A and B are shown apart, each in its own frame.
Chain A
C-alpha cells in the first residue's frame, strides 16, 4: 500500500490528542486506514447510556471520497439498517473533502439525536416511528439496553 497521506496522519494525531467528547476513534494496529469507533448515545435520546461500536474505513482516494462507516452494534433507528449501514447524505452525494473523520462522527451522533423517518433506510423502523413514535422510542431504548450496554 502507498504511504499514508499526510492528511490522514494529521487527522489521526488530532483525534488521539484532542478527542471529540463522547466519541473515540482509534486506528487499527495493522491498518492505519481502519478505525475502531465508539460513539456514546446522546443525552435526551432513546440511545442515552449506550456505547455504540462502529467501524470506519478511509478508502484509497480519501479525502476525495467519503469514509465508509458502519454500525457494528445493533441499533433501532430509522436511518440505520440491520447491517449497520447508515443513511446520511454527507456519506454519499453531499461528501466534501472539507469534511473530516471527526465531523462525520459528530454528524452520526447528531443523527442519533434526530432520527429522520422520512428518509428511511430501515423501512419497518421508520414506519413505526411515523405511526407510533412512543412505541418506536420504547423499542430503541430496549435495543440500547440489550445491545449497547452490556459491554
Chain B
C-alpha cells in the first residue's frame, strides 16, 4: 500500500477529530504498521523480533506517551491558532498554500517559526508532514525555528482562537479575494 493511499485512508477515517488528535492517531497508526512489518519480517527470516520487549513496555507507557504527545502538539499547534481581526490597507499577503489573500475573520494558524497559513490549508499539510512548508523547520522536533519576519504586519491584528473554533460558525462571511 503506497504512502498516499495510507494518508487518504487515514484522513477519511479520522477527519472529524481536531488536528492534535489526528496527528496523535496517525503516529499510533504508523507505529503499529512498523511493529507489524517487524513481526512479519522476523517470521520470514526465522529470527525473533528483537524489540518485542520494548514494544510491550511501549504499550504499558502508551497512556503516558499519549498525553505527552498531545501536550506537545497542543503547545506547538493549537496555541498558535489565530484569527485575522482586521487587515491594514496595504496588507496584500496571502496564504502560500492556496495562494489566496487573507481576509477578515478567517481562521489562520501560526507555526512556531512564525509562518502563517489558513488553518484549513496548513492542517491538511500537517497530516502529511511536520515540516513548515516555507522554512522547512521541524514543527514538533528540536526547538530550533527560523526567525523570518512575520507574513502579516505586526501582531496587534491577531486574536487567539479556541481549538474548536469553526469558520462556518463565524458571523461574517468568508470571502476569498
Interfacial residues, chain A to chain B (CB-CB below 8 A): 5-7, 10-11, 59, 61, 63-65, 96-98
Contact = CB atoms under 8 A, between A and B. Distances in A.
Given A6-B99, A11-B99, A97-B97, A64 B176 contact: no
A10 B100 CA distance: 9
Majority DSSP secondary structure for residues of A touching B: loop
Given A61-B8, A65-B128, A97-B125, A6 B134 contact: no
B133 A98 contact: yes
Contacts of A5: 98
A96 B133 contact: yes
Residue among A6, A63, A64 facing the most chain B CB atoms (10 A cut-off) = A64
Interface string B110-146: 0000000000010011001001011010000000000
A61 B12 CA distance: 13
Nearest to A10: B99
Interface of B: 4, 8, 96-100, 121, 124-125, 128, 131, 133-134, 136, 176
B23 to A, nearest CB: 15
- List 6 A-B pairs, minimum CB-CB distance, nearest first: A98-B133, A96-B133, A97-B97, A7-B99, A98-B96, A97-B133
Contacts of B4: 59, 61, 65
A96 B131 contact: yes
Contacts of A59: 4
A7 B95 CA distance: 10
B97 A6 contact: no
A7 B125 CA distance: 15
A98 B128 contact: no
21 contacts: A5-B98, A6-B98, A6-B99, A6-B100, A6-B176, A7-B97, A10-B99, A59-B4, A63-B97, A64-B124, A64-B125, A65-B4, A96-B131, A96-B134, A96-B136, A97-B96, A97-B121, A97-B133, A98-B96, A98-B97, A98-B133
Contacts of B121: 97
A99 to B, nearest CB: 8
Contacts of A10: 99
